[in-house]
Structure 1
């Protein structure tokens, strides 16, 4: 009888252990699935190896002065350029509600920026005529930093200034997140892990912000809810990498 009880106890223990393994395996599988689903929501816009998915604004494929270097796209503007030439880049795809992440590095004394809601049309010669801009700047050296806090790095350019200064010095990589969500009427900028800008993206509050900026009388500015992501040629060396987007 004793042997039978011992045998039954061992069998139960082994069974419990096996069940626990199965439960753990199921949990691990479920977690892995959730991680995979979350990861799959992100689309890589630039993987560091090609310019696939990008083209020159109102132009063709990406060529010089843009180059691929160490997993980044780098703009080396020519000292002399043809009259009217610009080397702004835009995505092939348009977006409406999204979270965009990237890393950027500006040269000493440099100025650049990135846009959303860009309309590509011959009547608009530059992306900034339609797309609001997040400022990319060497705050220490570029004179635009002296023209108001809404011109500093990370600002919604000429509209909303950063709440604090967390930008890294020229020549160092900065990580930025831009969220645009028309469903909740929210936008924000997170620079190097700190949320520095929040703003509505439509409605009377947004209209008031634009009305108090240099863009007040610009017919096409912020007029397109759906548009392209753009990278600015402002005549200075700038680099971008690890560009990803998640549509909301």
Structure 2
């Protein structure tokens, strides 16, 4: 897989997943020196060649040939919470097919402290270079899993005493009124359509984010970031050992 963008490429280099780098001629020497600290072959090419390969001019002068991103499992996410000694915070995506939103949600989940992201197999963007770039390297650190049937997974999580909160703009309950000090999964629906009816009905609570402007909705990536941040910051602060 071809990966582009400086942060994603540097994260992939640190993870040992890069076999070759393609660098735009004329790029600043300080960045070239940083790339040379890794034991990977550099190939220099005209910037237009990178434009054509990436299908965009937003590659920041560097591309990498990397191993394909691999899906984790739901158990990997559950184990991550257990290993950290924390109450589960899982993000479930119902029909988020825009790769930039998908990547942005992965980035927010990793940065803010969620334990993983789960998508339904047939209702999600693939783990692509666009997703990896939008995630700014977070795909190297956060488990991202697939499930064949999201409603069935929700039922299984409930059996394990996981509470399910679904984001819905029209919900009467403000996000500040809920209890986040419990094992929790936050459901983010598709742009425009929101969650499917069956997924919505399986949620324990539907939650909204108060908006005060003329535009009454947030995109999925921004909404996810706000919800994750509020969930994490509402939990008791663990004492440092």
Do the structures match in fold with TM over 0.5? no
Q: TM class, shorter-chain normalised?
A: under 0.3
TM-score between the two structures when normalised by the length of structure 1: 0.22
TM-score between the two structures when normalised by the length of structure 2: 0.23
Which structure: greater strand fraction? 1
Choose between structure 1 and 2 for higher RCO, CA contacts under 8 A separated by at least 6 residues.
1
Which structure: greater helix fraction? 2
